[in-house]
């Protein structure tokens, strides 16, 4: 796929104005206050996986409206102290799958919570285990358009709330250092991680690659690839619904969450990504933390000849090194971070 978005020199400085809706902060404050009234954990049950160096628990926690959300929680088997934790969010159409599918963060010495995506899991991977009791809102067939005409009914209000509650859940689990929690994800998972960074002020770190839900209005103009293409297909049938749809989407705009974030952040983007166009990731990166004044430390790795896969395992290698520096320090001291905001082209 040839390059189709802005040229790299323009992406470097791309800081689009985002039409934030009135009441954005109040909307999320009330949503999260309602979800946070009950203790996060419902059940924690250790499972046998056949892995000798990893212990895994089947976790159920309370998400949006107190709905039960499933997750896998894993730690190194020999962990003898409270560990920093990585809360990971899966991509569009994927569920939590099987516990042995994602072992990178555990092998790096972290506790790891992988959240299931409510109402997803049927497109690829090994499935999911969390239904969405509120899926009756108009829209479909994909979750990208469920409840699209109303911020209160929109699917991503529920999924983002689940993601925030996943952080509360991992902090309540034994063997976790609650002060050292990182959010991580690619694509839809990246959009969720970014939302968590904007809604959880004491998050320790953010790892995001090719984020969905960033620069949404521009992405709808640039690509018909799913899942953005689900929105354009919906609006092609429901003519006249554009105003309500755009207003709803403005409440889950990743750039708005990025502006509010405080945690150190590591971004990755493929410049030929037609699924989540790179201008969305750059918009979030360039405006990341701007409401905090000087803003948090941040770093971006761009891959000029890659699409939605971005840097793939190369990007994960950068993430591992960067996260260790942020959470433990280059000399083993908690809290150290890379020296300056940076954009890197490997």
Burial class (CB in 10 A: 0-12, 13-18, 19+), 84: buried
Catalytic residue among 116, 256, 273, 301: 273
CA distance 342 to 317: 17
| Residue 265: alpha-carbon gap to chain centroid | 12
Query: What is the CB neighbour count within 10 angstroms for residue 339?
Result: 10
Helix (H, G, I), strand (E, B) or coil at 199: helix
At 32, phi and psi to the nearest 5? -75, -35
Q: How far, CA to CA in Å, does 167 sit from each of 115, 193, 321?
A: 10, 10, 22
Asked if 100 is an active-site residue, the reply is no
Residue written as token pair 């089947």:
58
Catalytic residue among 187, 250, 256, 279: 187
Asked if 308 is an active-site residue, the reply is yes
Residue written as token pair 């945690």:
263
Eight-class DSSP state of 143: G
Give CA angle at 127 (123, 132), nearest 5°. 85
Across the chain, which distance is largest between two alpha carbons, in Å?
59
CA distance 67 to 60: 10
Residue positions annotated with a catalytic role: 187, 273, 308
């Amino acid at each position: 796929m040839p390059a189709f978005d802005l040229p790299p020199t323009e992406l470097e400085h791309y800081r689009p104005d985002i039409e934030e809706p009135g009441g954005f902060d109040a909307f999320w404050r009330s949503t999260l206050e309602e979800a946070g009234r009950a203790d996060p954990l419902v059940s924690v049950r250790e499972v046998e996986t056949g892995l000798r160096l990893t212990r895994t628990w089947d976790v159920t926690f309370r998400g949006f409206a107190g709905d039960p959300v499933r997750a896998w929680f894993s730690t190194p088997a020999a962990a003898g102290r409270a560990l920093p934790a990585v809360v990971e969010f899966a991509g569009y159409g994927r569920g939590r799958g099987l516990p042995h599918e994602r072992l990178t963060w555990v092998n790096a010495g972290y506790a790891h919570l992988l959240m299931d995506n409510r109402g997803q899991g049927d497109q690829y991977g090994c499935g999911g285990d969390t239904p969405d009791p509120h899926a009756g809102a108009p829209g479909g067939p994909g979750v990208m358009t469920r409840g699209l005409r109303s911020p209160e009914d929109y699917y991503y209000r529920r999924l983002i709330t689940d993601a925030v509650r996943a952080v509360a859940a991992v902090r309540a689990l034994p063997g976790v250092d609650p002060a050292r929690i990182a959010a991580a994800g690619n694509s839809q998972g990246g959009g969720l991680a970014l939302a968590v960074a904007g809604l959880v002020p004491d998050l320790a770190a953010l790892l995001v690659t090719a984020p969905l839900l960033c620069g949404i209005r521009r992405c709808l103009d640039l690509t018909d690839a799913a899942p953005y293409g689900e929105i354009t297909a919906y609006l092609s049938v429901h003519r006249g619904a554009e105003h309500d749809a755009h207003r709803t989407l403005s409440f889950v705009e990743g750039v708005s969450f990025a502006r509010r974030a405080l945690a150190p952040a590591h971004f990755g983007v493929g410049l030929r990504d037609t699924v989540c166009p790179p201008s969305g990731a750059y918009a979030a990166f360039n405006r990341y933390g701007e409401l905090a004044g000087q803003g948090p430390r941040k770093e971006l790795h761009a891959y000029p000849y890659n699409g939605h896969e971005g840097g793939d395992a190369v990007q994960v290698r950068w993430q591992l090194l960067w996260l260790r520096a942020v959470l433990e320090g280059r000399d083993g001291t908690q809290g150290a971070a890379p020296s300056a905001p940076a954009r890197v082209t490997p």
